[in-house]
Structure 1
Amino acid sequence: MLLHTHTWGEGDRVALLIHGMMADHRTWRRVGPALAERGYRVIAVDLRGHGASGRGAYDPGLFADDVVETLPAGAEIAIGHSLGGLALSLAVDRLKPRRAVFSDPAWHLAGPVEGMGPETFAQFKAAPREQIRAMNPRWEEPDIDVELATLTLWDEATALSLAPLLGADLLPAAPVVPSLVQLADPSFLISRERAEVLISRGFEVRSVSGAGHTIHRDDFDGFMASLEGWI
């Protein structure tokens, strides 16, 4: 499936942005322009079931296939957040960016005993502004506006499709390209033990102190600082 995209900048270097569950390209409202100012042409997708992209069957393999079909290979850098990080890890051998950043990637999906299952995530479709603000106290007001707008377009069946992966260990065996794993502090997806495994497999791992899961909206300055040497 060809995905809807949004582009910032006209630089010679290309950066790819892949959002997480419930979001779309608008989640990168500050990151896209910041990378464009650094000389990148920044291309962000709306994954299937999100934003202006099409609907259909959902699973991580299809998300990855769509990304490969839509985005150019050989970009300078590709950044995937959460579900986007999982999709990027399944597409990176075909996209072949020079570097990859996995921002709090969905490489371990907790079951209902450990945390929120897919059914709980699907219920966020109807989340009111007050709930979003309470859950994300560090977000700027425009990010809450964006979240409400993206939830309106989001197909919650994308969350339900992940149920077969609950409890699975989805950590990549090795980085395909030089790769940074950027973690929230604490991360509910990548434990300290899993972070150590990633380091042993050749990934660089950096945490953004005090940041929540959506690091680029929780602490934009910390997010950008943690990318030094990678962008």
Structure 2
Amino acid sequence: MQLFTREWGTGDRVAVLVHGLFSSSRTWHRLGPALADEGYRVVAVDLAGHGQSPRLENYSLAGLVRSIADSVPLRPELAIGHSLGGLTLSRLIRRLQPGRAVYIDPAFLGTRLPWWQRAGAPMLFHSLLNRPARAVARSNPRWHKDDVEIEVSDYAAFDRRFFRRFGDGRAMPLSAPDRMVVPSLMMLADRSRLVSATMADRMRGLGFEVRVVAGAGHTVHRDDFDGFRRALHGWV
């Protein structure tokens, strides 16, 4: 399945960007141009059910992986994924074969979520998606106003049928990778809620470099773009 993609820059150095849940390729509106200025052709996808990409009757992590592989150049120099995008990138990595990978506060929750929290996730998500712009701004005080506007627009575009799969651990498994396939950086929010200290240590043991952006929340690249760029030093 062909996904909608957004591009910045030109040339042979390719970077692939994969956004998180509820979002779209517009989340990279600052990073895309910045990477283009450094000589990259940047290709950012809208995941299925998000942004301008097709809607499906059923969603699965395997399906997200296949659709990205069908929509972006293989063997890019760099691949970056945030949250659900980081989880998806970890499953895509063997097929995509990037030169290096960056996982921004990825959804490596493993089995830490009990069944009742998984079952309650759709109700929580629905309440989040119905927030007006002022509530989004209030809960994300460090965001630029453009990010607030983009987020509200992305909420409106999101396919609610995606929720059906979140209670199904088989369709949306949240396990972390068990090996490092390419040189990889895991960039974490300060006191990440998605990656525990134990999980971070496990990833270090696999060879991942782990960096924490002090003071940043889950959307590291929106909470502190300058700190995010500093944390990318040596990987871009």
TM-score where L is the length of structure 1: 0.94
Whether the 8 Å CA contact 1:58–1:161 is kept in 2: the answer is: yes
2:106 corresponds in structure 1 to 105
Alpha-carbon distance in 2 for matches of 1:5, 1:168: 25
Could you tell me which residue of structure 2 aligns to residue 200 of structure 1? 205
Rounded Cα–Cα distance in structure 2 between residues aligned with 1:169 and 1:131:
28
Following superposition, the deviation at residue 202 of structure 1 comes to 1.4
Q: 1:134 aligns with which of 114, 133, 138?
A: 138
Q: Which residue of 2 aligns with 1:81?
A: 82
Query: Counterpart of 1:48?
Result: 48
AA of the residue aligned to 2:223: D
Indicate which of 145, 148, 157 corresponds to 2:149: 145
User: CA 1:209 to 1:31, structure 2 compared with 1: closer, same or farther past 3 Å?
Assistant: same
Shift of 1:159: 3.5
Cα deviation, residue 203, structure 1? 1.0
Give per-residue Cα distances to partners, 1:49-69, cap 9 Å, x unaligned.
001100111111111111111
Determine the C-alpha separation between the residues in 2 that align with 1:41 and 1:169. 30
Cα deviation code 1:15-74 (max 9, x no counterpart): 000000000010000000010010000000000000110011111111111111111111
Report the Cα distance in structure 2 between the residues aligned to 1:199 and 1:224, rounded to whole angstroms: 21
Amino acid at match of 1:134: R
What is the SS of the residue equivalent to 2:86?
helix
Secondary structure of 2:51's aligned partner = coil
The alpha-carbon deviation at position 144 of structure 1 amounts to 0.3
The residue number in structure 2 matching 1:65 is 66
Measure how far apart 1:201 and its partner are: 1.3
Code of the residue aligned with 1:120 in structure 2: it is L
Aligned position for 1:10: 10
* 2:16 match: secondary structure: strand
How many pairs does the alignment contain?
A: 230
User: Over aligned residue pairs, what C-alpha RMSD do you find?
Assistant: 1.8
Q: Can you list the C-alpha shifts for 1:59-97, whole angstroms capped at 9, x where unaligned? A: 111111111111111100000000101111111100000
Q: Render the CA deviation track for 1:132-167: whole Å, top value 9, x for unaligned.
A: 112111101110000011111111222341222399
Q: Secondary structure at the match of 2:168?
A: helix
- Asked whether the equivalents of residues 189 and 212 of structure 2 are also in contact (C-alpha less than 8 Å), the reply is yes
Question: Is the alpha carbon distance of 1:118 and 1:175 closer, same or farther for their aligned partners in structure 2, counting shifts above 3 Å?
Answer: farther
Asked if structure 2 preserves the Cα contact closer than 8 Å seen for 1:199 and 1:205, the reply is yes
Query: Could you say if the C-alpha distance between residues 101 and 68 of structure 1 is closer, same or farther in structure 2, counting changes exceeding 3 Å?
Result: same
Aligned partner of residue 145 in structure 1, secondary structure: helix
CA–CA distance in structure 1, aligned partners of residues 71 and 174 of structure 2? 27
Using the TM superposition, give the Cα deviation of residue 206 of structure 1 relative to its aligned residue in structure 2, in angstroms: 0.7
Q: Distance in 1 between matches of 2:89 and 2:162?
A: 16
Q: Which portions of structure 1, spanning 4 or more consecutive aligned residues, are displaced by more than 3 angstroms?
A: 109-114, 166-169
Q: For 1:174 and 1:75, how far apart are their aligned partners in 2?
A: 20
Structure 2 spans left out of the alignment, 5+ residues: none
- Partner-residue secondary structure (3-state), 1:86: helix
Instruction: Return the letter of the residue paired with 1:129.
Output: A
C-alpha separation in 1, matches of 2:46 and 2:117: 31
Q: For residue 69 of structure 2, give the secondary structure of its aligned residue in structure 1.
A: helix
